[in-house]
Amino acid sequence: MSRFRILFATGTLCLALTQLNAQGAAAPHPSPASVDLPAMKPDPEHPLMPIGTVAPHFALKGVDDKIHTLAEFSNAKLLVVIFESIHCPVSENYESRIRELYDTYNGKGVAFVAINPNNPVAVRLDELGYTDLTDSPADMKIRVREQQIPWPYLYDGETQEVVQKFGAVATPHVFIFDRDRKLRYEGRIDDNQNQALVKVHDARDAIDALLAGGTVAVAHRPAFGCSTKWLSKSKDVAREWRTIMAEPVVLTQASLADVNALRANAGDNVTVVHFWSTGTQNVERDFSDLETTYRMFRGRAYDFVTVNGDSSANTAKTAEFLKAQHASSRNLQISPADLDAIQTAFGSKWRADEEYTVVIAPHGKIVYAREGPIDILDVRHAALSSFTDNPYFPGQSQYWAHFAIH
């Protein structure tokens, strides 16, 4: 069974996971067992909007590059504002339930708008272990396109002026306003991340009550999820990068047996192996993307190994390149004479000056293989769909399965 450490501080879930002995590959139908996340407490510097407050004005750019304002929803009977983010596994897990709410109530006069409160400069790489994307506006567009999200999705990360007015503590965090645009419910969407275990449908119940002309029985249910990444946290990001730059970079000469062991991947980790040469055309771009992914996922059951196929005469140049990339992952160099045997083990042929990248699930199944330049999102999807579910974020394997290219 996986063992990991979850750190809680002042009601905030800190996604600092120390992976000790990870479990094997995820089952296609994850167990309903899950661990309840703690309710988030409001930050005194960002007070929570009280029930009864009139909806504040906003004018934010959406993924459609248009400015959306509070006024454009004036004809709606109710307005549902949901603070979501791209990187958060809890927010990801609730995308389908938000879609169910939208499909049920959009035709009944209920307007929906999502707001991303986070700026990627305030999100550390080790907080991106459950995602393929950052919280940037460009990456928001990718997620909306992939998931075909129909409601307006707006970006508040540049100044965070709107989320400051709401005091949203987490993603997701829902705020429901009546026809007079007074806040009548705020908090969680329902009571359990695992949809099979949900007993209380808080947001749905609030909408039904308001549409019926009644009052909301419980107007506040503390939200849970990933904490809002206030811009003040950018100092943590700078501190993380200083640590990365100080990590040792080592290049090790590897035998054919060493590389065969990589192919077998007998352990419980997802392993990405990247064969490369200093003469490869896209080497800097792809290497940087793969190292970034390593820094994102290395808190989980994840290994990244680079395998250089240049001759020993080129070792100094190879080591210099790795240091420039701050490549603290495992870095191997093989003899060019072993390349044919290695290619036979991996079941593929590639030129000595060409990249070859594979994602290997626990116990040796190749779930992604690419000769030449990579699409880093494909690599991340293959890895994410091969991880074992973390009981704090049930449903992640299922979420990522439809992204992966097998």
DSSP letter string, 205-258? HHHHHHHTT---S--EE---SEEP--GGGHHHHHHHHHHHHHS---EEE--HHH
Based on the domain organization, do 181 and 91 belong to the same domain? Answer: yes
Based on the domain organization, do 88 and 168 belong to the same domain? Answer: yes
For residue 91, the enclosing domain spans 34-233
Do the domain assignments include residue 29? no
Based on the domain organization, do 229 and 257 belong to the same domain? Answer: no
Based on the domain organization, do 260 and 309 belong to the same domain? Answer: yes
Based on the domain organization, do 95 and 147 belong to the same domain? Answer: yes
Based on the domain organization, do 197 and 306 belong to the same domain? Answer: no
Tokens of residue 31, six digits: 């167990």
Do the domain assignments include residue 242? no
Q: pLDDT at position 34, please? A: 66
Q: pLDDT at position 273, please? A: 98
Q: pLDDT at position 62, please? A: 98
Cα–Cα distances in angstroms (integers) from residue 293 to residues 61, 80, 127, 130, 377, in the given order: 28, 34, 12, 11, 10
Nearest to 125 by CA among 4, 34, 5, 242: 242
- Domains contained in the chain, number: 2
Among 233, 258, 283, the domain boundary falls at: 233
Q: pLDDT at position 405, please? A: 65
Tokens of residue 346, six digits: 């991996």
User: Which residues, in sequence order, are CB contacts of 281 under 8 Å at separation 6+?
Assistant: 373
Among 233, 265, 296, the domain boundary falls at: 233
For residue 405, how many C-alpha atoms fall within 13 Å in the half-sphere facing its CB? Answer: 11
Do the domain assignments include residue 16? no
pTM summary value: 0.90
Nearest to 217 by CA among 173, 169, 176: 176
Q: pLDDT at position 89, please? A: 96
Kindly write down the DSSP assignment for every residue of 82-139, as one continuous string: EE--SS-HHHHHTHHHHHHHHHHHGGGTEEEEEEE---GGGS-GGG-TT-SS-SSHHH
Based on the domain organization, do 254 and 197 belong to the same domain? Answer: no
Based on the domain organization, do 203 and 335 belong to the same domain? Answer: no
pLDDT < 70 regions, the chain: 1-34, 405-406
Helices and strands, number each (H, E), in the chain: 12, 18
Do the domain assignments include residue 406? no
Based on the domain organization, do 87 and 204 belong to the same domain? Answer: yes
Q: What is the pLDDT of residues 255-296, one digit of tens each?
A: 999 999 999 999 999 999 999 999 888 889 999 999 999 999
Based on the domain organization, do 165 and 261 belong to the same domain? Answer: no
Based on the domain organization, do 89 and 199 belong to the same domain? Answer: yes
220-221 and 183-187 strand pairing:
parallel
Q: pLDDT at position 31, please? A: 44
Do the domain assignments include residue 2? no
Residue 397's CATH number: 3.40.30.10
First vs last C-alpha separation in the chain? 26
Based on the domain organization, do 107 and 228 belong to the same domain? Answer: yes
Do the domain assignments include residue 358? yes
Do the domain assignments include residue 17? no
For residue 142, how many C-alpha atoms fall within 13 Å in the half-sphere facing its CB? Answer: 14
Q: Report the C-alpha gap between 154 and 149 in whole angstroms.
A: 12
Among 233, 255, 276, the domain boundary falls at: 233
- Please give the DSSP secondary-structure letter assigned to residue 201: -
Do the domain assignments include residue 165? yes
